[in-house]
Structure 1
């Protein structure tokens, strides 16, 4: 089956035509009437993670709350938020969402084929009939990845990916099409980009890149704007031209990453933060974006140093905050 857009073939598009049509009408209303509808969704379905990655935004805004929402709580939230606003795709994050497989299955039941799961991949990946795909986080080759996420984490993740892709077809597609890799580029791992692409090309479906977004001015992981960052972006663009079916970023999106495109200080300006309905583990709306918090007193990301992929791709498509 030929993939036409974001891993979807013509059969997928026709089968879920109402959802695609609603997304198209939203884009038209944005362009013609300057409306600001929710297009995508994000939900932190758990307040626990088995890793403590050095670059992770979640630990910077996490509240020390142990109680979690039940499956039925989430079912109600899904109906009253994401389904009510006809959100096209919801991305489930955490913490580590695979620790709440019951909630993932609930989302897949309520929004079939429109649910992505972002995971560190250290737990076996369950085969879910109505899943869209897995976003598996890899932060470079093994040594660098482990320096960020903990010793042995790369080996666990790689084993779980390979075990999954060896499995049978799902919904008529080979299992490898379910696996997408996401790499957050920072000052420690940027030299491993080409090696990571070489290792996983032909093994999984796609890879996407974004840049680390700092919450403070002296974050050593932030790759500053300038010559080195420009060279990294140029390398990504060349790789995208070489492997257009593997690297999901567009050239326009990557070019944005050479400089500030999102906002000023902690305030979104051009960034269409309104386009993604982002909820925390309590079902409360996060601000100013999906890596923010529902707590108004929480530390905020620096918008003028933003490297987030899900918003920059919208800007590259012509959406903004005006």
Structure 2
């Protein structure tokens, strides 16, 4: 099957035409009447993770709370996602693969519209309705382990290779289910090219974004300036060299050289409204998918945002407030 748009073939595009029509209507309503309607989704399916990565936003606002049930999520999917014609939804956590029952539910209720972001330190399960796995990797092995813990890279690598060595899924080879995502920060920026080359030919695509700080002066933030510009230029060169492998469009990567998102902790150009973001209790997160439902929680610095999920919308002409 030929992949035409972000891993979707002709059959996929024809089947999903009602969703593309819905997105077009929502974009038109926003541009003409400033009506904001979410088009995509992001869900924290659980409140636990087996790793404690040095750059992870999730731990900053975590509270000891129980996850809601599968039946609770079934109601939320019906009332908030399907009723609003949400297209692709990304499942995060915590570590979402620890709640395979919730992943299974989303894949059943929203078939081929579900992405799962995972550290892949656990074996990757084959879900019939899965769109693809976003596997988080933070550079080559030494750097990755420095950020995520000793031995984590080897576990992730083994689980990816085990998955792609398996049989086809829904008529597609298993390697097409695996996309890698790398969050670039001050500890790993020098490995972007090596990571891309290491996995080329083994997995489907690789995407890049930059670390978003929650406090000014965060040492993990790669500051705007000459060094960051050089990293972006390397990514653009990779895109030109491997246009079907690097998922980020050049227009999006170019935005990452400076502030595209907002002022302080307030979204301005960032279309945070376009992604319905819920936490593990089904509550709406603010100001975006890495925020929190608690108004007193720490907030991301929008003017230093490096998130890919919103900047790609800006690059496509979908803007914020």
TM-score, normalisation: structure 1:
0.98
Q: Following the alignment from structure 2 to structure 1, what is the Cα–Cα distance between the partners of residues 31 and 5?
A: 21
Alignment partner, residue 311 of structure 1 = 310
Structure 2 regions of 5+ residues with no counterpart?
Answer: none
Structure 2 counterpart SS, 1:160: helix
Alignment partner, residue 138 of structure 1 = 137
Compute the displacement of 1:146 (Å): 0.3
Q: Tell me the alpha carbon deviations over residues 110-168 of structure 1, each in whole angstroms, 9 at most, x when there is no partner.
A: 11110100000001110001100000000000000000000000000000000000111
Alignment partner, residue 238 of structure 1 = 237
Please report the RMSD computed on the Cα atoms of aligned residues, expressed in angstroms: 0.9
Structure 1 counterpart SS, 2:209: strand
Q: Tell me the alpha carbon deviations over residues 195-227 of structure 1, each in whole angstroms, 9 at most, x when there is no partner.
A: 001100110000000000000112110000000
Aligned residue runs from structure 1 range 166-315, under 5 A? 166-315=165-314
Compute the displacement of 1:273 (Å): 0.5
Q: Following the alignment from structure 1 to structure 2, what is the Cα–Cα distance between the partners of residues 185 and 173?
A: 30
Structure 2 counterpart SS, 1:72: helix
Q: Tell me the alpha carbon deviations over residues 160-184 of structure 1, each in whole angstroms, 9 at most, x when there is no partner.
A: 0000001111110000000000000
Alignment partner, residue 81 of structure 1 = 80
Aligned length: 321
Q: Tell me the alpha carbon deviations over residues 66-121 of structure 1, each in whole angstroms, 9 at most, x when there is no partner.
A: x2111101101111111111100110000000000000000011111101000000
Alignment partner, residue 51 of structure 1 = 51
Alignment partner, residue 123 of structure 2 = 124
Structure 1 counterpart SS, 2:126: coil
Find out whether 1:30 has 2:33 as its counterpart: no
Structure 2 counterpart SS, 1:74: helix
Structure 1 counterpart SS, 2:43: strand
Q: Following the alignment from structure 2 to structure 1, what is the Cα–Cα distance between the partners of residues 318 and 140?
A: 34
Alignment partner, residue 149 of structure 2 = 150
Q: Following the alignment from structure 2 to structure 1, what is the Cα–Cα distance between the partners of residues 131 and 26?
A: 21
Structure 1 counterpart SS, 2:240: helix
Structure 1 regions of 5+ residues with no counterpart?
Answer: none
Structure 1 counterpart SS, 2:258: coil
Residues 205-214 or 24-33, more deviating = 24-33
Q: Following the alignment from structure 1 to structure 2, what is the Cα–Cα distance between the partners of residues 38 and 159?
A: 37
Q: Following the alignment from structure 2 to structure 1, what is the Cα–Cα distance between the partners of residues 292 and 67?
A: 16
Structure 2 counterpart SS, 1:3: coil
Structure 1 counterpart SS, 2:190: helix
Structure 2 counterpart SS, 1:286: coil
Q: Tell me the alpha carbon deviations over residues 234-276 of structure 1, each in whole angstroms, 9 at most, x when there is no partner.
A: 0000100110000010111001000011001000011000000
Compute the displacement of 1:62 (Å): 1.1
